[in-house]
Amino acid sequence: SPQVVWSMLGNRQFCSYKMTTKTQNFCRNEYNLTGLCNRSSCPLANSQYATVREEKGRCYLYMKTIERAAFPRRLWERVLLSKNYEKALEEIDENLIYWPRFIRHKCKQRFTKITQYLIRIRKLTLKRQRKLVPLRRKIERRENRREEKALIAAQLDNAIEKELLERLKQDTYGDIYNFPIHAFDKALQQQDAESESESDAEREEDDDDDEDVDKREFVEAEDSELSDFEDMDKLETSSEEEQEEEEEVEKKASHSKSKGKTPLKGPARRKRPYIEIEYEEETEPSTKTKAA
Amino acid sequence: AGEGSAPVPGDGAGPPASERVLFPPTFSVSEIKNKQRRHFMFLRWKQQQRKEKLALKKKRRKEREALGDKAPPKAIPKTIENQRVYDETTVDSNDEEVAFDEATDEFAPYFNRQTVPKILITTSDRPRGRTVRFCEQLATVIPNSHVYYRRGLALKRIIPQCIARDFTDLIVINEDRKVPNGLVLSHLPDGPTAHFRMSSVRLRKEIKRKGKEPTEHVPEVILNNFTTRLGHSIGRMFAALFPHDPQFIGRQVATFHNQRDYIFFRFHRYIFKSEKKVGIQELGPRFTLKLRSLQKGTFDSKFGEYEWIHKRREMDTSRRKFHL
What's the ipTM? 0.78
Q: Determine the distance in angstroms separating the CA of A162 from the nearest CA of chain B, rounded to an integer.
A: 9
- Cβ contact (<8 Å) for A144 and B199? yes
Q: Give the integer Cα–Cα distance in Å for B125 and B174.
A: 8
Q: Report the number of distinct structural domains present in chain A.
A: 1
Query: What are the counts of helices (DSSP H) followed by strands (DSSP E) for chain A?
Result: 11, 5
**CATH assignment at residue A110:** 3.30.390.110
Rounded to a whole number, what is the distance in Å from the CA of B80 to chain A's nearest CA?
9
Q: Is residue A221 one of the residues assigned to a domain?
A: no
**Between vectors from CA B263 to CA B261 and to CA B267, what angle results, nearest 5°?**
165
Residue numbers in B near A236 (CB within 8 A): 279
B3 located within any domain: no
Any A CB within 8 A of B253 CB: yes
Q: With respect to residue A176, please indicate whether it lies within any of the assigned structural domains.
A: no
User: Within a domain: residue B23?
Assistant: no
Number of domains in chain B: 2
Identify whether B201 is part of a domain.
yes
Nearest Cα residue in chain B from A236: B279
Residue B181 is part of which domain span? Answer: 88-316
**pTM of this structure:** 0.65
B255 Cβ under 8 Å from any chain A Cβ: yes
Is residue A208 assigned to a domain? no
Burial B193-226 (b: 16+ CB within 10 A, else e): bbbbbbbebbebeebeebbeebbeebbbbbbbbb
Cβ-defined contact of B224 to A159 (cutoff 8 Å): yes
Residue of A nearest to B260 (CA): A150
Note whether residue B16 is domain-resident.
no
DSSP bridge pairs for A26? A19, A36
Of A130, A157, A259, the CB nearest to B274: A259
What digits encode the pLDDT tens for the residues B43-98? 999 999 999 999 999 998 888 888 877 777 778 888 888 888 887 777 777 778 87
Q: Are residues B96 and B51 in the same domain?
A: no
pLDDT in tens, chain A (292 residues): 888 888 888 778 888 999 999 999 999 999 999 999 989 999 999 999 999 999 999 999 999 999 998 999 999 999 999 999 999 999 999 999 999 999 999 999 999 999 999 999 999 888 877 788 898 999 999 999 999 999 999 999 999 999 998 888 888 877 777 766 654 555 556 666 555 555 555 544 444 444 444 444 444 444 444 444 444 444 444 333 333 334 444 444 444 443 444 344 444 444 444 444 445 545 544 444 444 4
Three-class DSSP category at A186: helix
Nearest residue in B to A136, CA atom: B312
Do B44 and B163 belong together in one domain? no
Residues A60, A63, A69, A70, CA torsion sign: negative
Q: Are residues B138 and B283 in the same domain?
A: yes
The CA-based angle B50-B54-B59, given to 5 degrees, is 150
> In this structure, is residue A88 part of a structural domain?
yes
Distance from C-alpha of A179 to C-alpha of A176, rounded to nearest angstrom: 9
Residues B41, B172 within the same domain? no
Residue B195, domain member (yes or no): yes
Whether residues B37 and B181 share a domain: the answer is no
Nearest to B266 among A153, A156, A176 (CB): A156
Give yes or no: residues B190 and B273 share one domain.
yes
Let me know if residue B13 belongs to a domain. Answer: no
